[in-house]
């Protein structure tokens, strides 16, 4: 155990992220632990398909390529490697890493964590599971990682742990935390949540690009986690992007729901988080409060939902809506009616402008997606039928792609399982197996009071309050007052919105009610449940739109299946804004 902060650098935010990031991070120096997050809900489905073809597969192979690049340097410098790239086969990945080391003439101690895969033990999951899902994984915490590092592992690979566990485990090992050090653990969860998506914390996907003066590809983030759980977010020197209160706030708001953030190791209360700009590219996180975690663990289930196909028809010039209606009528007449499909989704996407200066600017798209359990129904039988409109349809008919075959799609289902229904196990480098004990739990998460005094690094207005500005208003985009970041949580979408001033937050808090959100986002969400949570320490709101993504990203038929653009769409909506807020 040491009193120095542990420096944890993350080199991956998803399966397929920047391959050079691991080497760049290690070469930059100064880190104690290199982490990588590879598992999204969709990734588990992808890995399940790969494992069905080859039982030895099921892990993120890009991680193995990164290990080849950095393993020798990490061993030389004492940098530990921790990743959830094991997916559905962490033991297989551990063995593959040993083979990489052997080819390079290196001796490496590899451990892996297992117990999350519930495919052979579905009975305790609620709601009850029917059928046989292709993946069923509980979200484990960081204590298996901590145990492996304490036993001397150079590399630790896991299956489905939470993204933040990749920071919680190393921080708990480094500082010798107990399982009920709730505030420290919660602070590590927040740090892990910030760096889990790589450059999204360092200026990537940021609503205010004018703040970023270094326009190079953003450097990947580093969390310096102290013994009390407070941290500093930074990035390697001489890398692009920006680490600011704004960029960190944006990532804090990403893919969360209620402020009481339930996790396997603790409940983290996001409404207690305080941020401060310590210096260039250095943002402090403090004041985080934690409490006991719930008695259950989150479970992600993926099923094969059937087959789908999409064809996009281009409409040009005059009478776009009439042409779209005629195309839809003719197409389903040729196909024998809509009823032969399990689902038929037709969307008219308008890009056209009157008296367009170019041909392309006069076009709109009619996007037709069909689903069925039988691939033949939605394969070439569907896409070839679309081409029958080429000479017998509307004027100017053409498509964006040639006819295509059907592809399988997945259905995501969230669930829960009692901790007692599974056993988290760490397999140490010598092959010894150790069972990981659960932390104390609570029946339900209870509100936690914020610290009695503001942190020294909190912004001057650490708890924005008061009334919204009064006076004359003008019509302006919502995004002139706030930034946004949005994403998917199963079938739900979240939109985090934050302001840069107390006055802006006071107005946004009063203005953006659930009813107003429905009105601004339009017919797509008119009948959906919307929740708006307040996070005053961050001058932020978190909006959760339930059910907008249906059965998850693999099944969604909307053009933006992960809701990545939903926040920017909301920012573009024109509303009445107090004049005093514009330009502030």
DSSP state of 436: P
How much is the pLDDT for 447? 45
> How far is 559 from 549, CA to CA, in rounded Å?
10
- Tell me the whole-structure pTM to 2 decimals: 0.93
Nearest partner of 439 among 275, 256, 264, judged by Cα: 264
Q: What is the mean pLDDT of residues 5-33?
A: 97
Q: CB neighbours of 220 closer than 8 A, spacing ≥ 6?
A: 9, 10, 11, 18, 21, 24, 25, 195, 198, 199, 202, 235, 236, 239
Q: Strands 473-477 and 574-578, how do they pair?
A: antiparallel
| Res 121: pLDDT | 92
Residue 233 has, within 13 A of its CA and on its CB side, a CA count of 38
Owner of token pair 């209620």: 258
State percent of the chain over pLDDT 90.
Answer: 91
pLDDT tens by residue, 432-490: 999 999 999 997 544 444 433 333 333 434 455 567 788 899 999 999 999 999 999 88
Mean pLDDT (the chain, rounded): 94
Average pLDDT over residues 176-195: 98
Among 380, 368, 373, 384, which Cα is nearest to 406's?
380
Architecture of the structural domain at 310-412: 2-Layer Sandwich (3.30)
Residues 105-144 pLDDT 10s = 999 999 999 999 999 999 999 999 988 999 999 999 999 9
What distance in Å separates the CA atoms of residue 171 and residue 227, rounded to the nearest whole number? Answer: 8
What is the tens place of the pLDDT at every residue in 285-312? 999 999 999 999 999 999 999 999 999 9
Instruction: Write out the two tokens for 339.
Output: 């009823």
| pLDDT for 413 beyond 50 | yes
- Residue 371's pLDDT is 97
Is the model's pLDDT at 234 over the cut of 80? yes
CA distance 500 to 506: 11
Three-class DSSP category at 483: strand
End-to-end CA distance of the chain: 46
Checking if the pLDDT of 2 tops 90, the result is no
DSSP string computed for 130-158: PS--SEEEE-B-SHHHHHHHHTT-SEEEE
* pLDDT, position 42: 85
- What is the per-residue pLDDT for 389? 95
Task: Select from 43, 39, 36, 40 the least CA-distant residue to 19.
Answer: 36
Q: What is the mean pLDDT of residues 264-289?
A: 98
Q: Which two tokens stand for residue 262?
A: 């339930």
Check residue 41 and give its pLDDT. Answer: 84
Q: Residue 360: is its pLDDT beyond 90?
A: yes
Position 465 scores a pLDDT of 57
pLDDT at 583: 63
Q: What pLDDT was estimated at residue 468?
A: 78
| For range 370-379, the mean pLDDT | 97
The residue ranges of DSSP E strands in 19-154, in sequence order, are 33-36, 80-83, 110-114, 135-138
Yes or no: say if 321 and 314 are a contact pair by the CB < 8 Å rule: no
Residue-level pLDDT at 219? 98
- Structure confidence at residue 6 as a pLDDT band (50, 70, 90): very high
- Report the residue count for the chain: 584
The pLDDT score that the predictor gives to residue 464 is 59
Give which of 314, 316, 312 is closest to 359, Cα–Cα. 316
The pLDDT of residue 554 is 85
Q: Where are the domains of the chain?
A: 310-412, 473-581
Distance CA 306, CA 378 (A): 10
Q: Using one digit for the tens of pLDDT, what is the confidence trace for 98-111?
A: 999 999 999 999 99
Structural tokens at position 243: 């680490």
SS3 state of residue 345: strand
> Is the omega angle on the peptide bond into residue 582 within 30 degrees of 0, that is, cis?
no
* pLDDT at position 236: 98
């Amino acid at each position: 155990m040491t009193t120095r902060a542990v420096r944890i650098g993350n080199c991956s935010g998803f399966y397929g992220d920047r391959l050079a990031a691991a080497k760049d991070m290690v070469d930059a120096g100064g880190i104690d632990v290199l982490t990588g997050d590879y598992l999204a809900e969709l990734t588990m489905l992808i890995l399940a398909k790969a494992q069905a073809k080859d039982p030895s597969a099921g892990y993120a192979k890009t991680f193995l390529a990164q290990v080849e690049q950095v393993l020798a340097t990490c061993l030389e410098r004492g940098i530990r490697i921790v990743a959830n790239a094991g997916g559905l086969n962490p033991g297989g990945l551990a063995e593959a890493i040993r083979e990489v080391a052997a080819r390079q003439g290196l001796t490496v101690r590899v451990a892996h964590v297992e117990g999350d895969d519930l495919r052979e033990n579905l009975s305790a999951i609620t709601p009850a599971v029917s059928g046989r899902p292709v993946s069923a994984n509980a979200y484990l915490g960081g204590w298996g990682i901590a145990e492996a590092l304490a036993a001397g592992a150079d590399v630790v690979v896991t299956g489905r742990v939470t993204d933040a566990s990749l920071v919680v485990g190393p921080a708990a090992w480094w500082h010798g935390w107990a399982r009920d050090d709730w505030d420290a653990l919660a602070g590590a969860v927040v740090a892990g949540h910030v760096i889990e998506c790589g450059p999204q914390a360092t200026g990537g996907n940021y609503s205010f690009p004018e703040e970023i003066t270094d326009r190079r590809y953003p450097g990947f983030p580093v969390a310096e986690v102290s013994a009390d759980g407070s941290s500093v977010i930074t990035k390697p020197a001489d890398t692009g992007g920006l680490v600011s209160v704004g960029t960190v706030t944006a990532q804090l708001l990403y893919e969360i729901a209620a402020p009481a953030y339930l996790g396997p190791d603790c409940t983290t209360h996001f409404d207690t988080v305080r941020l401060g700009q310590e210096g260039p590219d250095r943002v402090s996180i403090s004041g985080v409060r934690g409490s006991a975690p719930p008695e259950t663990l989150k479970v992600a289930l993926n099923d094969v939902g059937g087959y789908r196909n999409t064809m996009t028809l281009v409409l040009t010039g005059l009478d776009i809506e009439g042409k779209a209606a005629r195309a839809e009528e003719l197409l389903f007449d040729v196909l024998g009616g809509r009823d032969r499909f399990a689902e038929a989704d037709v969307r008219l996407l308008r890009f056209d402008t009157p008296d367009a200066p170019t041909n392309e600017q006069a076009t709109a798209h009619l996007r037709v997606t069909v689903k069925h359990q039988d691939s033949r129904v939605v394969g070439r039988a569907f896409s070839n039928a679309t081409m029958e409109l080429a000479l017998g349809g509307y004027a100017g008919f053409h498509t964006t792609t040639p006819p295509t075959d059907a592809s399988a799609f997945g259905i995501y289902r969230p669930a829960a399982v009692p901790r007692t229904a599974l056993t988290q196990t760490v397999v140490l480098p010598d092959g010894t197996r150790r069972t990981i004990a659960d932390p104390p739990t609570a029946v339900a998460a209870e509100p936690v009071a914020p610290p009695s005094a503001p942190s020294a690094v909190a912004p001057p207005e650490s708890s924005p309050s008061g009334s919204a500005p009064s006076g004359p208003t003008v019509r302006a985009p919502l995004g002139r007052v706030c930034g946004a970041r949005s994403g998917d949580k199963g079938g739900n979408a979240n939109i985090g919105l934050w302001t840069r001033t107390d006055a802006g937050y006071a107005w946004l808090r009063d203005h953006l009610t659930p009813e107003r959100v429905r009105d601004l986002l339009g017919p797509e969400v008119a009948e959906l449940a919307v929740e708006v949570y307040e996070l005053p320490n961050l001058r932020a709101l978190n909006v959760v739109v339930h059910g907008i993504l249906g059965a998850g990203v693999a099944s969604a038929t909307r053009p933006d299946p992960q809701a990545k653009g939903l926040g920017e769409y909301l920012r573009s909506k024109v509303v009445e804004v107090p004049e005093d807020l514009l330009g502030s």
